[in-house]
Amino acid sequence: MADKKVIEKKLSELFDIVPETEGLIVSDLEGKVIIGQTITDMNHSAIAKTCVDFIKHSGNLGNHIGKGAFKAATIDLESGYAVIVKSDTILLIALAGLDGKASLSLLKRNLISISKI
């Protein structure tokens, strides 16, 4: 994994690029939070662990249909969105409100770029 400070800098830049972003979380593949930045008080650990579970189930789906392992997902929720990107060593999670719909592709593209650092 890249230097934590480099990732923090990239996440800070992403908040500026996509102002609708409500949170950015980076964890290891077990759900241990490395970096957590949200505009409101959220349980970063619970979010990361839930995303790890989501990835495991999505990976099972990929295996069952012959499409392979999980790479990334955009999840539509009642009051917003979550974007999840997995690399070989980390999990990146972006959270956005309903006003962030038009920026979801930009969030995902930037998370994928950060995951390759």
Question: Model confidence over 57-114: pLDDT tens digits?
Answer: 888 888 889 998 899 999 999 999 999 999 999 999 999 999 999 999 999 999 999 9
| Whole-number Cα distances in Å, 75 to 1, 16, 72, 105 | 25, 22, 10, 12
- Whether 1 shows a pLDDT value over 70: the answer reads no
| Domain extents in the chain | 4-115
Q: What is the mean pLDDT of the chain?
A: 94
pLDDT value of residue 2: 63
Order of strands across the sheet with 90-97?
33-38, 21-28, 90-97, 80-86, 72-77
Question: Model confidence over 8-24: pLDDT tens digits?
Answer: 999 999 999 999 999 99
What is the mean pLDDT of the segment spanning 54-59? Answer: 89
The CATH number given to 4-115 is 3.30.450.30
Q: How far apart are CA 21 and CA 26, in angstroms?
A: 14
Q: Which 8-state DSSP code applies to residue 99?
A: G
